[in-house]
Amino acid sequence: MQITRLRLSGFKSFVDPADLAIEPGLTGIVGPNGCGKSNLLEAMRWAMGENSPKSMRGAGMEDVIFAGTGTRPQRDFAEVSLHAEQVAGPDAEVEVVRRIERGAGSAYRINGADVRAKDVALLFADAATGAHSPALVSQGRIGAVIAAKPGERRQMLEEAAGIAGLHVRRKDAEQR
């Protein structure tokens, strides 16, 4: 899976709609401290289903919504869209959208259709990426990998090997 486009609106410091094309190869994002580089990576993780506000550097999930500044009022929603091209699967192009509204929680869409958080998690797990996969390394996470317990490290390896989706499906089957 190749992520080809990231679009944000109202997400953290990206109050105005932003549209980033991600070309094949290496993409670098540079800028001064606090300009929003980490927010972009967090936007990707969030669209993939990240549900821990702490790992998004907030107290609650609504903290991802633009909080306002001295000159601009806060926003009522945040939306992030990830455009990806898949090598396998029914659709070559896939667009995943996550949206959160104040007081109304999160909703997900895949190619325009309402889906569950789990469907998004499976889509990315099968592509060996996802909110908790080692494909996305946040600031300060290298130290955390070194300090991880064996069980946690196994989870990282399983995600990297692309079998994390199988565990979700097994748990599902066991509950039926």
Site of interaction with ligand ATP (CB under 6 A) = 12-13, 31, 33-39, 63, 65-67, 139
Instruction: Give the one entry of Mg ion, ligand ATP, none that residue 27 binds, where binding means its C-beta sits below a cut-off of 5 to 8 angstroms depending on kind.
Output: none
Complex with ligand ATP: residue 19 or 93, whichever CB lies closer: 19
Q: From 64-72, 81-89, 133-141, 155-163, give the range in contact with Mg ion by CB under 5 A.
A: 133-141
Report the run of H or E that residue 68 belongs to, with start and end. none
- For the CB of residue 131, give the shortest distance to Mg ion in the complex, in Å: 18
Report the run of H or E that residue 6 belongs to, with start and end. strand 2-9
x/- string (CB under 5 A) for Mg ion, residues 38-67?
x-----------------------------
Under 8 Å between Cβ of 76 and 101: yes
**Cβ-Cβ contacts under 8 Å for 116 (sequence gap 6 or more):** 108
Q: Point out the annotated binding site for ATP.
A: 32-39
Residue 36: strand pairing partners: none
Both tokens of residue 144? 């955390």
Q: Report the C-alpha gap between 134 and 145 in whole angstroms.
A: 9
Number of residues that bind Mg ion (CB under 5 A): 3
